[in-house]
Structures are given as C-alpha cells and as structure tokens.
C-alpha cells in the first residue's frame, strides 16, 4: 500500500468489488464523494446519518459486513446498478479524520456468491484510514474557502459602504456647507461695498467705518479659508476620478493636489506601464487609494521632505504600493504601537489607519525609517 489515498475505481480493483461508494458526512447527511462505476445521478443521492446500514456506520463507527443485502432506497439501488429484488454482499467501513471524527463511509459491494469476509475488512481498513484523512482535509479546505469567500464578501460590502458614506458626506458638504460659505463671502463683500459707500458720504464717522470694514474683510477671509478647507475635505472624502477613471488616474490626481502649496515637496508618481491593473476589484482599488492618500499625507505634512516618490507596480502575482520620502524619518522602535503622540499630546493615526486597511484586504505592510534619512512605506497585496 502506498501513502496515496485510492479512488473508488482503484478500491474496486483492490477489493475485487463490483462497485465502491465513498460517502462524505457532515454529521447530518451522507453525500457521494466518489463512485465506481460512475452514474449520472451521483449528486442527487443523500442519506441521513443514523438510518440504513451506511447511516448507522456513519453514526456509530462500527464496520459492517452483510452477506446478503437489498437496499430499499431506489436511487441508491440505481447507483449500485441493482435489478429489482437483486441482492448483494456489502462491506461498510467508517472513514475517520482528525481526532477520530467520522467524516464518511466506504461502502463496497459484489455478488453474494463471493461474500466479503474478515480478510477483506483487514485489507480495506488501511485504505479507509487514508481516505478518512484525505476527506477530512478536503472538507476543511472547503470550509476554509467558504469562510474566506464569506469574509471577502463582507470586506467588499464594508469597504463599499464606507466609500458610499464618504460619497454621501462629500455631496452633502458640497451642496450645503460650501454653498453657504460661498454665499456668505458674497454677502460680506456686498456689506463691505455698502460700508465703503457710507464712509464716502459721512466723513465724521471715518474711524468707525474703517473698523467696520476691517472686521468685514477679516470675516470674508475666514469665510474664504473655510470654503477652501471644506473643498479640500470634500476632495479627501471622495474621489470622483477613482470612480470614473480608475486607480492610476486617481493617484495622479492625488499627487497633483498634494504638490500644491507653499513648502510642498516635489512629488513623483511611478507606475509600471506594463503592469495590468485594470482587473483590480473596485473595493480593493478604493482601499489602495486610501492607503496611498494617507501615506502621501504623512509624507507631506510630517516628514519635512524635499522629495516624495509614490509608486504602483505589479510584481509577480502581487500588487506593490510604495511611498518613499527623504524627510526626517523616525525610530520605528518608538512607534511599535503605530499610534504615536506628539510632545503636546496630539495623536496621529496615519500609520494606524494604513495598518488597519492593509489587514482588511490581507496585504502585508512594511515600514522602514531611519532618523534624518527618510521613510519608506511598502504595501504588498497578493492578487
């Protein structure tokens, strides 16, 4: 006997049987895992655990040899290719997996003229042990895949829900707050113009008009600042470019926006032109975009860098997102909790946010940094 679990066809030859049925058990029902000779109705046969000869073996784990048997289940008889009133000799053995758990049944049959005996049972038992382990491994693998599929579905829903909520908030801010701020700036300008006209007519109250105008100018500047900050927040909340043109275009827009402003570092985006990135699911693209957004924001706001390089490429079966800067860096040992506080007690959650998003999409995260020698953030997503 080799260490490879045999198929039903191979078992039929080994046991000199007319047919072999390998049944898998989930604790409640038996279903066909393998059959020889094959039959088109294989998938339709189910048998309750605890009923019939095979069901009892699946329940109590005791091998059974029947010198003459005639199964009553019509579909079972079809799979055994039995004529009406035809009988067979049968041998049923439990298939045991890990922790001695019964995961199925091996059922062999042949003509009653050559009934199964103890020597057949002894011959079949080692193969039953191998089959039990293989069947248990297959069932565990299927369970893992089911859980992974369900997890992937829930993650996709969660990310999609987050993006939908970000989109709703962005639209609400755009249609509400920014409109109100723009209107406020217009009315403050109108009020400034009115005060200027009144000052021209009444020179006696020149100082009061100057103070009023100064207050109006300050209020208008604050309204403009609030307007631009709200617009920036809207852009950070939701990217229309990501929705319409995809991840690469969204990252290009992200780089252009981050490079604007006094003191902003030089930012380059490197994307491998040969990399196939069109097949990235929407929720994964959204997660990678948010990671790039956070990493770039950290580099621009905190690194005091002169140059930042954002990259996206495909390496084998993985997508690699990188963000490297030549800034002041930090000591990773001091930030093992990821959430690090400033001297004044302020908290920065950028690295924590990146780590959480990487965990969500099962991407690996590597952060390399040396004080005064910059920081590199690498995210690798098997795909």
CATH of the structural domain 240-383, one choice from 3.30.830.10, 3.40.50.1820, 3.30.750.24, 3.30.565.10 = 3.30.565.10
Q: Indicate the fold that domain 8-145 takes in CATH.
A: Beta-Lactamase (3.30.450)
For residue 377, give the nearest of 318, 301, 315, 309 by alpha carbon.
Answer: 309
Q: Which two tokens stand for residue 363?
A: 């991407």
What is the model's pLDDT at position 345?
43
CB 44 within 8 A of CB 75: yes
Give the C-alpha separation, 312 to 269, whole Å. 8
CB 314 within 8 A of CB 276: yes
Which pLDDT tens digits describe the chain residue by residue (383 residues)? 455 789 999 999 999 999 999 999 999 999 999 999 988 888 888 889 998 899 999 999 999 999 998 888 888 888 888 888 888 999 999 999 998 999 999 999 999 999 999 999 999 999 999 999 999 998 899 888 888 888 888 888 888 887 778 778 877 777 788 888 888 888 888 888 887 877 777 766 677 777 887 888 888 888 888 877 777 777 667 677 787 788 888 889 888 888 776 777 899 999 987 666 777 888 888 899 999 999 998 888 888 889 999 999 988 888 999 999 998 888 877 765 545 445 444 445 567 888 888 988 889 999 998 888 899 999 999 87
What is the model's pLDDT at position 162?
79
85-101 burial, b at 16+ Cβ within 10 Å, e below that, comes to: eeebbbbbbbbbbeeee
What is the model's pLDDT at position 343?
46
Give the C-alpha separation, 254 to 245, whole Å. 13
What is the model's pLDDT at position 311?
94
CB 257 within 8 A of CB 234: no
Q: Which two tokens stand for residue 131?
A: 């089959």
Give per-residue pLDDT as tens, 352-381. 888 888 988 889 999 998 888 899 999 999
If you write DSSP's letter for every residue of 69-133 in order, what string do you get? E----HHHHHHTTPPTT--EEEEEEEEE-GGG-EEEEEEEEE-TTS---HHHHHHHHHHHHHHHH
pTM of the model: 0.59
Residues in contact with 191: Cβ distance below 8 Å, sequence separation at least 6, in sequence order: 216
Helix (H, G, I), strand (E, B) or coil at 2: coil
Give per-residue pLDDT as tens, 29-39. 999 999 999 88
């Amino acid at each position: 006997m080799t260490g490879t679990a045999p198929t039903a066809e191979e078992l039929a030859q080994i046991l000199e049987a007319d047919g072999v049925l390998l049944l898998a058990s989930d604790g409640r029902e038996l279903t066909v895992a393998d059959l020889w000779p094959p039959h088109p109705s294989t998938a339709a046969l189910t048998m309750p655990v605890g009923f019939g000869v095979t069901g009892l073996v699946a329940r109590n784990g005791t091998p059974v040899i029947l010198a003459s048997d005639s199964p009553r289940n019509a579909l079972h008889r079809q799979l055994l290719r039995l004529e009406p009133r035809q009988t067979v000799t049968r041998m049923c053995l439990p298939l045991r997996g890990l922790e001695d758990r019964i995961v199925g049944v091996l059922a062999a049959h042949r003509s009653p003229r050559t009934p199964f005996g103890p020597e057949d049972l002894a011959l079949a038992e080692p193969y039953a042990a191998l089959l039990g382990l293989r069947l248990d491994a297959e069932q565990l693998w299927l369970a893992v895949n089911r859980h992974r599929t369900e997890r992937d579905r829930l993650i996709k829903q969660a990310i999609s829900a987050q993006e939908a909520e970000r989109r709703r908030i962005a639209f609400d801010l755009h249609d509400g707050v920014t409109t109100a701020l723009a209107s406020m700036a217009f009315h403050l300008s109108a009020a400034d113009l009115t005060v200027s006209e009144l000052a021209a007519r009444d020179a006696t109250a020149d100082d009061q008009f100057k103070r009023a105008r100064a207050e109006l100018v300050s209020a208008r500047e604050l309204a403009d600042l609030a307007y631009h900050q709200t617009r920036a927040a809207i852009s950070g909340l939701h990217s229309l470019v990501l929705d319409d043109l995809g991840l690469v275009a969204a990252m290009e827009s992200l780089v252009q926006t981050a490079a604007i402003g006094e003191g902003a570092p030089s930012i380059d985006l490197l994307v491998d032109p040969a990399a196939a990135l069109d097949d990235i699911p929407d929720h994964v693209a959204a997660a990678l975009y948010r990671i790039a957004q956070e990493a770039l924001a950290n580099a621009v706001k905190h690194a005091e860098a002169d140059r930042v390089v954002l990259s996206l490429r495909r390496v084998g079966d993985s997508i690699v997102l990188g963000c490297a800067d030549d800034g002041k860096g930090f000591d990773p040992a001091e930030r093992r909790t990821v959430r690090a506080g400033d001297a004044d007690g302020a908290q920065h959650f950028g690295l924590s946010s990146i780590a959480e998003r990487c965990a969500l999409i099962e991407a690996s995260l590597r952060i390399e940094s040396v004080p005064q020698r910059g920081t590199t953030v690498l995210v690798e997503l098997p795909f």
